[in-house]
Amino acid sequence: MPPQLQNGLDIAAKVVQGTLDSLPQAVREFIENNAELCQPDRIHICDGSEEENGQLLGHMEEQGILRRLKKYDNCWLALTDPRDVARIESKTVIITQEQRDTVPIPKTGLSQLGRWMSEEDFEKAFNARFPGCMKGRTMYVIPFSMGPLGSPLSKIGIELTDSPYVVASMRIMTRMGTPVLEALGNGEFVKCLHSVGCPLPLKSKCIISELKVKIKKKAEQQPPAGASGTPKQGPGALTWEGSLFTEPLVNNWPCNPELTLIAHLPDRREIISFGSGYGGNSLLGKKCFALRMAGRLAKEEGWLAEHMLILGITNPEGKKKYLAAAFPSACGKTNLAMMNPSLPGWKVECVGDDIAWMKFDAQGNLRAINPENGFFGVAPGTSVKTNPNAIKTIQKNTIFTNVAETSDGGVYWEGIDEQLAPGVTITSWRNKEWSPQDGEPCAHPNSRFCTPASQCPIIDAAWESPEGVPIEGIIFGGRRPAGVPLVYEALSWQHGVFVGAAMRSEATAAAEHKGKIIMHDPFAMRPFFGYNFGKYLAHWLSMAQHPAAKLPKIFHVNWFRKDKEGKFLWPGFGENSRVLEWMFNRVDGKAGAKLTPIGYIPKEDALNLKGLGHVNTTELFSISKEFWEKEVEDIEKYLEEQVNADLPCEIEREILALKQRISQM
């Protein structure tokens, strides 16, 4: 532990904006305890104002953390250290007393449904990282609300961070600042602590590490250069914990990849992150709070926290419905949330593109809010063709990370589909001159835009409605090149929960996995479960017992099926509105459907294909006995091995029933 400060006065003297006296007691204690531990030079209590934001952005520009993109209005580019570019599942943990509270105990090997760390191991890891970690830096205090301020579905967090990039991004992604503290009063909040793990002064890269020194004589017990503290006796060595200074900062981006750790302590309502500045690891309101922590809160309080977009769809008669949809990364989730329908007279509006918090109201409607305030979208593949509304949204007040920059002050990435003016050159995300002949992408595959949701031209009028919007359909989907039809509807709520549990998709760049393999991604939540997945399934199944529940219909879609030549069978994008139309009418009890062993598919002519050239619907909807025998075998094996004793018997029954239906094909 660092030397204790005599009293709170020393900490109060470090406050450069705001006052500790004005804060709720619990917030003040949270700040004081962590300021004593992390030893920042300054403490800045964020008010969320335009003025504060402008100062922070200017300060980061001076430090070379951000570049101003002169082609747009108040847009910025950050380039990270190439070792800090994505969520790191291997270093993301949940701490509970018992391992089984976090993950089911698999039959063999490690759980793929989350990572558990013991309380003892966490204490050691925490004490090796956080003491003194903010020396020379400013500790920013970010009060933030997940969900519209004052909504009964919203939750409040306080994040302490030494990264101004986090502050600017959290201002976009959450409701942030003084109004949140006013709404909080003496209420409960989730405690979030984040550090890039690079104390100053720093002429070069800081890596806190263990230094082992061979003992020749007892007298040689002085710490080596850069280390401090009392040594621990080990077999033939003394170990100091301390700081080594090596290699300069890359792109002025402080991080500590060797010691990165993202930890969730649900029993203490705490999230603790060290060593990474990347969005999913450092914007603690995002996946850490909105999914992992909220998932646990939702289980205790009887609601759902899900990795789902929310969209409103209105038919030509003016009737509107809301749908929620779960897709793994790179399956067109943001594109669907912001779709321009190709069907005349139909309208899609966006409530949220990533996360849904859903709770039954007194009338039995499943009400959903988008807990976020912005979009943190994957840039590559976003273009005027694939997502015109996203392109319009990101023209101002946006922070881009790890995209390429054009010499006229614009952004560029793979699939942007824009012609460059003559003489305009490209600098890649690696900060080097780039040309298509280089054989590597100009933007990182997981490069991002962080942009205010309110700027989306098709943002739904009710997107900030405190009571949420009523969900009538839930869609699961994945990227499946073979075997899985364009759309099918689950036979019941229980079957729908099984369909969510059985989701599989080609793996992508948002996590650290490489290459294209079909991975299990139940509910598109595999990296985001906040507690045991078997208990999560039981929680979903229990929704059917909710008094007066109007259970949404559940569908599965696959926009990505290919023919034998490897060409997509379905055009996708705006044409996906044709599938939404069928779902809309199914919810209304109108559209024709055909029963198959895997669920209901559209009857001949039930899917509106007017004006759509030739589409091979036979191949698009074909259900092969051989494929599905293998599919159900893989799903059964995965769930039995991974969920093991915690697999609900209702899911076992659904597996058996599906097997039986396939065997009769």
Give pLDDT tens digits for 250-273.
999 999 999 999 999 999 999 999
Neighbours of 304 (CB within 10 A): 24
Q: Where are the alpha helices (DSSP H) in 283-430?
A: 294-301, 333-337, 388-393
Residue 101 has pLDDT above 90, yes or no: yes
Average pLDDT over residues 612-634: 97
In this prediction, residue 201 has a pLDDT band, given cuts at 50, 70 and 90, of confident
Average pLDDT over residues 317-326: 98
Average pLDDT over residues 601-627: 96
Comparison of pLDDT for 170 and 221, the residue scoring more: 170
C-alpha–C-alpha distance, residues 76 and 66, integer Å: 6
pLDDT of amino acid 9: 59
Beta strands in 79-204 (DSSP E): 92-95, 116-117, 138-146, 155-161, 175-176, 190-195
Residues 6 or more apart whose CB falls under 8 angstroms from that of 399 comprise 66, 75, 76, 77, 78, 165, 168, 169, 172, 449, 450, 451
Beta strands in 332-465 (DSSP E): 347-352, 356-360, 366-369, 374-378, 399-401, 404-406, 411-412, 426-427, 433-434, 448-452
pLDDT of amino acid 508: 55
Q: Does the annotation mark 255 as catalytic?
A: no
In this prediction, residue 471 has a pLDDT band, given cuts at 50, 70 and 90, of very high
pLDDT of amino acid 219: 38
Residue 379 has pLDDT above 60, yes or no: yes
CA angle 274, 275, 279 (to 5 degrees): 90
Average pLDDT over residues 439-448: 96
Average pLDDT over residues 73-79: 98
Burial 243-281 (b: 16+ CB within 10 A, else e): beeeeebbbebbbbeebbbbbbbbeebbbbbbbbbbbbb
Burial 306-315 (b: 16+ CB within 10 A, else e): bbbbbbbbbb
Comparison of pLDDT for 285 and 9, the residue scoring more: 285
Contact 502, 634 (CB under 8 A): no
pLDDT of amino acid 336: 96
Residue 217 has pLDDT above 70, yes or no: no
Average pLDDT over residues 482-504: 98
Amino acid residing at 272: I
pLDDT of amino acid 226: 41
Instruction: Determine phi and psi for 350, rounding to 5 degrees.
Output: -100, 130
In this prediction, residue 330 has a pLDDT band, given cuts at 50, 70 and 90, of confident
pLDDT of amino acid 451: 98
Residue 653 has pLDDT above 90, yes or no: yes
Q: Of 324, 322, 302, 305, which is closest to residue 314 (Cα–Cα)?
A: 322
Comparison of pLDDT for 236 and 567, the residue scoring more: 567
Residue 209 has pLDDT above 50, yes or no: no
Q: Of 293, 273, 263, which is closest to residue 166 (Cα–Cα)?
A: 273
Residue of 198, 331, 442, 450 marked catalytic? 331
pLDDT of amino acid 515: 56
Task: For tokens 């914007």, name the residue.
Answer: 283
Distances in Å between the Cα of 248 and the Cα atoms of 82, 245, 255 are 13, 9, 11
Average pLDDT over residues 365-388: 96
Average pLDDT over residues 153-178: 98
- Stated as kind and residue range, the H or E segment containing 103 is none
Q: Of 72, 40, 74, 42, which is closest to residue 58 (Cα–Cα)?
A: 74
In this prediction, residue 8 has a pLDDT band, given cuts at 50, 70 and 90, of low
pLDDT of amino acid 311: 98
Tokens describing residue 192? 């979030």
Q: Of 537, 538, 587, 579, which is closest to residue 558 (Cα–Cα)?
A: 579
Beta strands in 464-513 (DSSP E): 469-477, 487-489, 504-506
Q: State how far Cα 654 lies from the chain centre.
A: 30
pTM value > 0.85: yes
Average pLDDT over residues 115-121: 98
In this prediction, residue 554 has a pLDDT band, given cuts at 50, 70 and 90, of very high
> Which of the 8 DSSP states describes residue 646?
G
Q: Of 495, 451, 444, 374, which is closest to residue 83 (Cα–Cα)?
A: 444
